[in-house]
A and B are shown apart, each in its own frame.
Chain A
């Protein structure tokens, strides 16, 4: 479970360009949720994802992540404390300490990455172009673990990579040593998706990851997204500009406007939504601003 509590974010504070991007967001993302996020330009969708990922900190509010496995260090500490109290309780203390909730508001981006998988809008951003497919995957396979002076790819990893690449059905499994820069945008986005889920993340953040692709490729990548996330039951937050996709995918839908969540729907209600329902909702919430809002959606 991941919780956003009263998150505020303002850009360019104290200048004429001051922009309130998030105005007190409260959101609880449950384990296994696949949330689609829609909203106009400047609604705060990407800002919210960047706050979760730790690209920049919020001015106010907390981000809490649940069920985090506690690192050895703190287990040891608990052990020590337990020893001081009563030897027989050691095991119990250790058990209890294994998962806990953690306030990650101030944790730097690269540390948070251990728990968070990301795919960006620009297919060029998610992969290292000058490195080979297997090198990119090997980097992703070490997300969250310490990088030492061992060789960067193990032999047995190559087999795993080959298996995983086969799932993409893009014939990449035979091109492990090909530079990623030689792949198309669609291929790179599919690879990024695989990299983001290679180590199962606590939450997968997709920031309009199909917006830069042609419609055909976009739908393939979306299908792949659903396949990968449902297979491992990965908690996902997906921003999209396509209302159809927002309705079609996921179990929950969030609509954002002016830096806050104006509509949060899940379950049966979400299943029965139509595009016109969403448009109506938009018009109601925006008091006529809607006509000028160029959020629309292909």
Chain B
């Protein structure tokens, strides 16, 4: 039973954190922007959700309906503030020409103070953390009329939330605006040449990314009944870990919606692993180091594979040298067939002869 609870707890954590991982996926993979705002905007989401529940305590305590309504309001406001953080980073980068990583760090650093101010609203002081255990959240309020256990409620809400998020993102990146955003991240020069306002694309992408990160922060705050200004520390690495684990399971050849699901699955696997680390009694302070090491290993595996292949190629002498990288060979083959394709287009061969003769003449 303990094992099962740990398992379900890990899945729940994974579902709620998956929304953050998808936010990171938008900035890191789609926009090709290593956005560190995430570390701050995650806590902004948590702080916003916590303060809204605290300030509306008298309203929330009226009943389950009021509590759920207020929780949804808190989630929406958290998203708006997260989006605002993304907007700041976007403007720093595109309008003030500050490098992507530094733009994110600057916003993140600023948010560290802002988050404490948010949590201190109404108390006349700034606060480093804020508990909402006595107020109740969307999860405890649903439990009031659906007594199936907190973990199952979080599981159901988490599944619905992640499904909605994936649905929205899948739709958005299929639209003209979303498509322009993908082009901006893929090839900015091309995007500009096709009349895409790449600055606006980047800003909007960061707004959307950080809105989802903050939403995730708000959900996590609801789950643990507590927000703190350090809750986002290490979240970018956790997000990357989820993306990398997901990509390890699903190939990049799959359609976009499968890749979004793969990020969620990656996040769940990551959280299950962590849940069992906790269960094993390892000091939780080591988890971040472990995560960093896992991500480093995952990121270097392709490089190590390549090196091993190269060394193996050298060892076997010139004959196997061509097998250095099968991918190279493949592209070469691709080119050959492609060139043959192009030559099929030829109507006259004399154009080629012209090209050759001009060498001699000059």
A residues 211-234 with Cβ under 8 Å of B?
Answer: 214-224
Q: Mark B327-362, 1 if CB is under 8 A from A, else 0.
A: 000000011011101111111000110111111011
In this assembly, does A275 line the interface, its C-beta being within 8 Å of a C-beta of chain B?
Answer: yes
- Quick check: is B125 within 8 A (CB to CB) of the other chain? no
Checking A143, A223, A248 against B345 with a beta-carbon cut-off of 8 angstroms, the contacting residue is A223
Q: Which residue of B lies closest to A169 (CB)?
A: B345
Q: Is A110 a contact partner of B186 (Cβ separation < 8 A)? A: no
- Contact indicator A184/B334 (Cβ below 8 Å): yes
Contact of B362 among A110, A185, A298 (CB under 8 A): A298
Main secondary structure, interface of B, reads helix
For the side of the interface on B, what is the size category? 35 or more
Q: How far is the CA of A182 from the CA of B198 in the complex (A)?
A: 25
Give the distance to chain A from B186, nearest Cβ to Cβ, in Å.
4
A137-153 contacts to B, CB under 8 A, are 138-140, 142-144, 147-152
Please tell me if the beta carbons of A242 and B175 are within 8 angstroms of each other in the complex. Answer: no
* Closest A residue by C-beta to B175: A149
What residues of chain B lie closer than 8 Å to A215, measured between beta carbons?
Answer: 352, 355-356
Known A-B contacts A187-B341, A220-B345, A223-B347; the reply to A139 vs B177 at CB < 8 A is no
Q: Is the CB of B355 within 8 A of A244?
A: yes
Given A220-B346, A243-B362, A298-B362, do A142 and B338 touch, yes or no (CB 8 Å)? Answer: no
Residues in A with CB closer than 8 Å to B191 are: 110, 128, 139
Assess the B341–A150 pair: CB atoms within 8 A.
Answer: no
Is A182 in contact with B334, judged by CB distance below 8 angstroms? Answer: yes
Query: Which interface residue of B175, B346, B355 has the most chain A CB atoms within 10 A?
Result: B355
Q: Which residues in A have their C-beta under 8 angstroms from that of B177? A: 147-149
The contact of B335 among A118, A184, A242, by CB within 8 Å, is A184
- A186→B336 CA distance, assembly (Å): 11
Q: Does B186 contact A130, Cβ atoms closer than 8 Å? A: yes
Decide yes or no whether B285 CB sits under 8 A from chain A.
no
B194 within 8 A of A: yes
CA–CA, A124 and B176, complex, Å: 22
User: Which one of B174, B175, B186, B339 contacts A216 once the chains associate, using CB atoms below 8 Å?
Assistant: B339
Q: Which residues of A contact B313 (CB under 8 A)?
A: none
How many Å lie between the Cα of A214 and that of B361 in the bound state?
Answer: 19
Taken together as a complex, chains A and B put the C-alpha atoms of A225 and B90 apart, in Å, by 39
Q: Are A187 and B338 interface neighbours, CB within 8 A?
A: yes
- Tell me which residues across on chain A come within 8 A of B335, comparing CB atoms: 184-185
Closest beta carbon of chain B to A88's beta carbon, Å = 38
User: Does B196 reach chain A (CB closer than 8 Å)?
Assistant: yes
Contacts of A183 on B, CB cut-off 8 Å? Answer: 338
In the complex, the answer to whether B179 meets A138 with C-beta atoms within 8 Å is yes
- Across the interface, A114 reaches (CB within 8 A) one of B187, B195, B352, B356, namely B195
Interface flags for B172-202 (1: CB within 8 Å of A; 0: not) read 1011111110110011011111111110000
Chain B residues with CB under 8 Å of A135's CB are 179, 182
**CB of B103, distance to nearest CB on chain A (Å):** 21
> B344 contacts which chain A residues (CB < 8 A)?
169-170
Can you offer 24 A-B residue contacts whose CB atoms are under 8 A? Answer: A53-B193, A110-B195, A110-B197, A110-B198, A128-B191, A131-B182, A135-B179, A142-B176, A142-B194, A144-B195, A150-B175, A152-B174, A152-B178, A184-B335, A184-B337, A187-B338, A219-B351, A219-B355, A223-B345, A223-B351, A245-B355, A275-B358, A279-B362, A296-B362
Q: Which residues of A contact B (CB under 8 A)?
A: 53, 109-111, 113-114, 118, 120, 124-131, 135, 138-140, 142-144, 147-152, 168-171, 182-187, 190, 195-196, 214-224, 242-245, 248, 275-276, 279, 296-298
Binding site for A on B (CB under 8 A): 172, 174-180, 182-183, 186-187, 189-198, 334-335, 337-339, 341-347, 351-352, 354-359, 361-362
